[in-house]
């Protein structure tokens, strides 16, 4: 539970001294109370979740001992919002590439991608606007999971390429994914 063992006494304004309190109705669950009533609740219904408190998050002390501090409260709330079991496994079965960073770039950019499970070989290539491969960054067997490549704006011969739009293409098995990148000089 979000509030297990938490005592929020070190608020920048005391819990319970405010005029606000909420009314608990099904399917909500109480997470914080005070002498003036319910001060926080959580609701999970139809695949949606919400946490509500009558006090601002900033009112919880950063310096209070664990578990009664802002960091623990945030960790627990985010943990409660964590994806349902199986989502991570589903994501590992998909080939994915994210937008390079920085973009536009000069002279170096990072390209993050996900290697799916059950794939024996991965290729990451850089293409020009005509679809020609100008650089091969990855061409090997990789374990499933997140991966990162760095491109220095050069072709396979080590020559610096002209400013313009390029594409990063990751391929694994019969799947491919692309992202558009801009090289500026």
The predicted pLDDT at position 59 comes to: 79
For position 99, which CATH number holds?
2.60.40.4070
Q: Are residues 9 and 77 in the same domain?
A: yes
What gap in Å lies between CA 16 and CA 64, rounded to an integer? 18
For 82, the token pair is 């964590």
Which contiguous run of DSSP H or E holds residue 90?
A: helix 87-91
Domain count, the chain: 2
DSSP for 125-167 reads EEE-TTS-EEEEEEEE---SEEEEEEE-SB-TTSPBPPSEEEE
Segment 156-169, tens digit of pLDDT: 999 999 999 999 99
- SS3 at position 184: coil
Q: Are residues 115 and 173 in the same domain?
A: yes
Give whole-number Cα distances, 68 to 6, 11, 32, 53, 62, in Å: 5, 10, 12, 15, 9
Q: Are residues 42 and 120 in the same domain?
A: no
Q: Are residues 74 and 97 in the same domain?
A: no
User: Do 138 and 122 meet the contact criterion of CB atoms below 8 Å apart?
Assistant: yes
Q: Is residue 10 pLDDT above 60, yes or no?
A: no
Domain that holds residue 17: 1-82
Segment 86-128, tens digit of pLDDT: 444 444 567 889 888 898 899 899 999 888 888 889 999 999 9
Last residue of a domain, one of 38, 58, 82: 82
The predicted pLDDT at position 85 comes to: 45
Q: Are residues 59 and 116 in the same domain?
A: no
User: Do 54 and 40 meet the contact criterion of CB atoms below 8 Å apart?
Assistant: yes
């Amino acid at each position: 539970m979000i509030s297990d063992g938490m005592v929020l006494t070190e608020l920048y304004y005391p819990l319970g001294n405010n005029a606000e309190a909420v009314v608990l109705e099904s399917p909500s669950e109480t997470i914080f109370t005070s002498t003036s009533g319910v001060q926080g609740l959580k609701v999970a219904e139809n695949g949606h979740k919400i946490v509500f408190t009558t006090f601002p998050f900033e009112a919880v002390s950063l310096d209070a001992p664990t578990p009664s501090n802002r960091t623990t409260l945030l960790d627990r709330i985010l943990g409660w919002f964590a994806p349902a079991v199986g989502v991570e496994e589903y994501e590992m079965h998909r080939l994915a590439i994210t937008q390079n960073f920085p973009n536009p770039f000069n002279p170096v950019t990072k390209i993050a991608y996900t290697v799916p499970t059950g794939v024996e070989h991965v290729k990451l290539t850089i293409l020009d606007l005509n679809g020609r491969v100008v650089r091969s960054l990855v061409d090997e067997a990789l374990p499933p999971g997140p991966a990162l490549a760095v491109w220095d704006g050069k072709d396979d011969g080590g020559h610096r390429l002209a400013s313009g739009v390029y594409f990063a293409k990751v391929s694994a098995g019969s799947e491919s994914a692309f992202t558009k990148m801009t090289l500026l000089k």
